Amino acid sequence: MQPPEEARPRPRQQSAFGAAFLSLLFPGLGHAYAHAWTRAIGFAAPALLLLALLFGVFLKMGAIGSAILVVANLGLILAGNLVALVYRAIAAIDAYRVVAFVNAQASGDGRLGRQTVRLNPISLAGLAAVCLVIAGTHAVVAKYGGAAQDIVSCIQDANCDASPIGSPNPSDGPASTDSPTPTLSLPPVGTTLPSTSPVPAWNHTERLNILLLGVDQRQGDTTFNTDTMIVVSIDPVTKNVAMFSLPRDTVNVPLPASAQGVFGSVYQGKINSLWLNARNRPDAFPGTGNARGFNALKETLGTLYHLNIQYYVMVNFQGFRQVVDTLGGVTIDVQNPVVDDKYPGDNGTDLRVYIPAGVQHMTGAQALIYARSRHGSNDFDRASRQQRMILSIREQTSPQAVLNNLQALLSTLKTSFKTDIPVDQLPALIQLSSQVNTSNIRSYVFSPPRFESQNYPISSNLFPNVALIRSTVLNAFKIDPKLEALRDAVAVEDGTIWVVNGSGKSGQANSLVAFLEYEGLAAVAQTQRPPATPATTVIKVYNGRETSLPATVALLQKVFGVQAQLVDDPNVTADIIVTTGRSTPTLTPPPGP
């Protein structure tokens, strides 16, 4: 008699919920758990390829560049988010079904045919929970993606009614600008211009020009003056960068042809009021509402500089303060102390401001004061501080700080920033920005006495030397930055120079005066002649003025190749006298464009 055959042990049952949970962590893991290798590879491969692609993009563009790429493709990402939701849910459900089927097969009683899959209610509840978690994660992505899309749309819509910013900070300045808007006598509104700006989009090969605007718009304000106007110009071939600042009190700026029938050939008001006066003139500039004001500034400054200014970026001063605070402040190397006894405080009161020279770490409020203070210095110094502030923020902004404060930054952007840069241009702009040489940026401030004249103290109006400004912009990337810095320093010193024709060559003194004025020197031709003709140029610096005019003396020595002589003579009222000689070269300024 044979002993009864022992029953073979049944395979260990696997958890269908466990398979679904593993697929929640990563598609294909649940199938690998069930030893369904073909399905595991099929579900995991697309996710692995996508992760590899994203990692490659991150390595190439960095954190900030990758974030910009996300912003530029929000619509595609939101659609992909929906596809990913369906894909992950199918992966989890399929892994659950595979394990349930395997369990049914393993528990069969030996009968032929397909075994019945019994579904455990508790296990089904777990599967439902897994699907809810998957749906929840993608719902969060959809929520923030939609919010980001709304913010981007509002930033790009000049007429978007964003919620007003918080209450004014007493240290930030007055509720209204201290540069009054003039009342202009304008003709009745005529034929409306097309709404599209005539300035072509950037083609990635020509110079990229972006107008940076700083405005003081407070809670409840519907209008503002543009008190900061900086054009950033980038050569995409050499990767060189130039920054052009125009003082807000500049008048008589040339206008484009479309606006001359309304305002005349030049804008007679201060340039910081053009946005306000152009906004309601559809017969002068293209666009609608606020966008027309921004188009007016782009086209007018483009006319002055002979540039195509493709885009603008506007920041509210309060938004600037909030961004600096959110990023943890900014460190500035203050080159000259800032002293202002009349910095406009809240309720019309004056505050005393003192920022010592040296490296300073500033909060948003302090950075705003540093950039805006003007009563203790001049427009040249103020514009230089603003350019230095922009560069410092750019260089010190870390990807980690941006990502850690992304929600706060996005909220500030919506309420305080405007731009017309298309989102599809953002990746190219970020790539170009990462390649530029920030250590050799050419900075130009078009202020008196070199680039503008002034009838102070009669008025604060500044009258531009249009030909010199255009010539400087045209040759911005050809001029030696060190020489340009020396010229700017000379303009600030504002020394008095007499030019005496000692060679007897007709018109030499007048020609030399024109050349020296191009170099930033205030020179005057004299009619008297020296008793004898010098062999070479003679430079005499009188009454100790070499201590207060070091840049001026250095530039004159560089131009004429001779050493200056120091002379004491109380009867001479000029700071420096230049006498031409037989070997003095014929110097003339370059022709304006």
DSSP helix/strand/coil, 159 = coil
Question: CATH 3.40.630.190 spans which residues of the chain?
Answer: 198-474
Length of the chain: 593
Question: CATH 3.30.70 spans which residues of the chain?
Answer: 481-579
Q: Residue 586's CB: how many other CB atoms inside 10 A?
A: 12
Q: In sequence order, what are the residues at sequence separation of 6 or more whose Cβ sits closer than 8 angstroms to the Cβ of residue 356?
A: 334, 337
pLDDT by residue for the chain (593 residues), tens only, comes to 455 444 444 456 778 888 889 989 999 998 899 888 999 999 999 999 999 988 888 887 776 667 777 777 788 888 988 999 999 999 999 988 888 888 777 665 444 445 555 667 788 888 889 899 999 998 988 888 887 788 888 888 887 754 433 333 433 333 344 455 556 778 888 888 887 777 888 888 888 999 999 887 665 556 678 888 999 999 888 888 899 999 988 999 999 998 999 999 999 999 999 998 998 899 999 988 889 999 999 999 999 999 999 999 988 888 888 888 888 888 888 877 888 877 776 666 777 888 888 888 988 888 888 887 876 666 667 777 888 888 787 777 766 676 666 667 777 777 788 888 888 887 788 778 777 777 678 888 898 877 888 876 666 888 999 988 998 898 888 877 777 777 777 877 878 899 999 988 888 888 888 888 877 788 888 888 888 889 999 999 999 999 999 999 998 998 899 999 999 999 999 999 999 999 998 887 766 54
Residue 551 identity (one-letter amino acid): A
DSSP 534-567: -SS-EEEEETTGGGT-HHHHHHHHHHH-SPPEEE
Distance CA 184, CA 28 (A): 71
Nearest 10 degrees: CA dihedral of 302, 304, 306, 307? -30
Tokens of 567: 């002379």
Beta bridge partners of residue 524, listed in sequence order: 498
Q: In sequence order, what are the residues at sequence separation of 6 or more whose Cβ sits closer than 8 angstroms to the Cβ of residue 395?
A: 438
β-pairing, 538-542 vs 565-567, is parallel
- For the purposes of burial, counting CB atoms within 10 Å of the CB of 278, is it exposed (0-12), middle (13-18) or buried (19 or more)? buried
DSSP helix/strand/coil, 345 = coil
Could you say which architecture CATH assigns to the domain 198-474? 3-Layer(aba) Sandwich (3.40)
The class (CATH top level) of 481-579 is: alpha beta
SS3 of 485-521: the string is HHHHHHHHHCCEEEEECCCCCCCHHHHHHHHHHHCCC
DSSP helix/strand/coil, 445 = strand
